[in-house]
Structures are given as C-alpha cells and as structure tokens.
Amino acid sequence: MNRRIPMKNLFLLVSLISMLLISACNQAQSDTFGYAESKESIDNLPSLQSVSLSENNKQVIRETFDSVKELQDRIRSGPNPDWVVKDEKVNISLSDYVLAKKNRDLIYALNQVVEIPSDEALLQDMVTKQLTVNYAKQSGIVVTPEEVSEAVHFQKAALDEADPNDENHQLIRYMMENRIRITSMTTEEFWNSDEVYEAYETSLYISKFLQSILTDESMKGMDSYQQLQEKLFDDFQKAHPIKVPDFDVLFQEVDL
C-alpha cells in the first residue's frame, strides 16, 4: 500500500543522512519517532521545501558531492591530521567536518542565500551534539537497536516513496543518490552502514532527551535545553579548546 510521505520526513532524511549535523531536529518533526522542533544553533538554516530540481541545481549538487569526495580522498591519502576533535567525549574526524561543511553550504547555495553562518558555529554545533548524546545516556535515556532500525526503515521508505511528480521530492532523492554515490557503496550497503546507524542513533538520543526536558514541569522547556547545551559546550571548550580547520593550509590546491 502506498503511503503519502510528508515533506517534513523527507527533509529530516536529508538532515540526518547527508550528515548536515546542524541540529537533531532540522526544521522537521516526526510524531512517529518523537522528533520535536527546536531552535537551531546555526541561525535559520534554509528549508529545501521551495527548491526545485532544475538542471542548474543538479549541477550544484553533483559538484558539491564531487568536491566532498575529492577532499575526503585527500584526507585519507595525505599526511594531514585525521581529527578535528578527538577526546573521550567527542570525536569529530576531518572527513566528517568536510561533509558537514559542504552539505551546509549546499543548502544555502540551493536557496541562493549568500550569508552563511560561520564555520565556528558549525563546529560548535557538531561538538554540542555529541556532548548532548553523552549527557542523555548518563541521564538514563536509552535507544535500542530496534528503534534505530525502525527509524532507518521509515526514512528509507520516505525516500523510496517520494512523489515522482513533485520536483522538490525528486531534488531530495537526487541529493541522496549523490550522497550514496561518493561512498562507493551500493544503496543497500549504505543504508546498512555503521555511518547511517550512528546518525540515526544520535538523532534518537537527542530527540528523546529533548522530549524528556519538554515534558518535565520542573524545567523551562526549550530554554532549559538550550542553556544546558551552552553549558556543556562551554565546559568542554574550557578544558579542550577547539579550532576550526584551516583548509587554505590543508588543501591549498582545492577550491572550497
């Protein structure tokens, strides 16, 4: 039986699997898995809902993911450090950061928005996400493998059942095809990969933790959640100063 897949679920798919790593709940929510809207730490990430699959946008998407692959290949084969942040609480590889940065920039490019939030804000968001997951686990939040598998299956179905007559749905499908293309995996291998599993597991931890705060009458809703995230990052930054990679130095021959 065909289900009508809401656009919000398709956007969530791109948010998670493209590893935008901007927010666990990027401008979307799914009642099925308990996602809730939240203020993004990077200001006003544009929505894809008004972007169509034009030939120009196809080219922008292809070139973006080709650039990601080129940079990641250089990282794997070069002498550059593999990690942006590596600690017992936070692990962010240079390859992950490249993908997050390029995907964020892609969203802005597709929306023809020139002013992009700083790379410092992007890295802070990536660090904060991992710190929040750690805190959620310590607070007793549990995400089971079955929940992760169900979420992956649901979002894969959202992609498979995208409306072929809706250019915006097809834009998202095209983005995912290019995301998978640069991994050299088959579609099934990609969806069954550790990378996808960990992305959904992370999102579910953050979603469940956020819901626990929003339903706690002793807390102040999103204000409490954001204050906690700010404290987690500030405490981590004091003990482990982080620095945005200088790509002009690392990849002088690559035009970012």
Q: What is d(CA 19, CA 24) in angstroms, rounded to the nearest whole number?
A: 10
Q: Spell out the domain ranges in the chain.
A: 49-250
pLDDT attached to residue 21: 33
In Å, how far from its chain's centre is CA 142? Answer: 21
pLDDT score, position 168: 83
pLDDT score, position 36: 35
What's the pLDDT at 215?
93
| pLDDT of res. 61 | 95
Supply the pLDDT for residue 74. 85
> Interior CA angle at 145 toward 85 and 213, to 5°?
70
Whole-model pTM above 0.85? no
Give residue 87's Cα distance to chain centre. 20
Whole-number pLDDT of residue 251 = 59
Cα–Cα dist 195/129, whole Å: 16
pLDDT at 253: 47
Spatial separation of the C-alpha atoms in residues 186 and 136, rounded to whole Å = 33
Return averaged pLDDT per consecutive 10 residues of the chain, 256 residues in all.
44 45 33 35 64 94 95 80 85 91 91 90 93 96 95 85 86 90 94 91 92 90 93 94 80 50
Beta strand extents in the chain (DSSP E only):
83-86, 91-93
Q: Identify the CA nearest to 90 among candidates 140, 121, 41, 128.
A: 128
The candidate with the shortest Cα–Cα distance to 177, out of 11, 17, 8, is 17
pLDDT at residue 255, rounded to an integer: 44
Residue 77 is predicted with a pLDDT of: 81
Phi, psi dihedrals of residue 93, rounded to the nearest 5°: -80, 160
Q: What are phi and psi of 224, to 5 degrees?
A: -65, -40
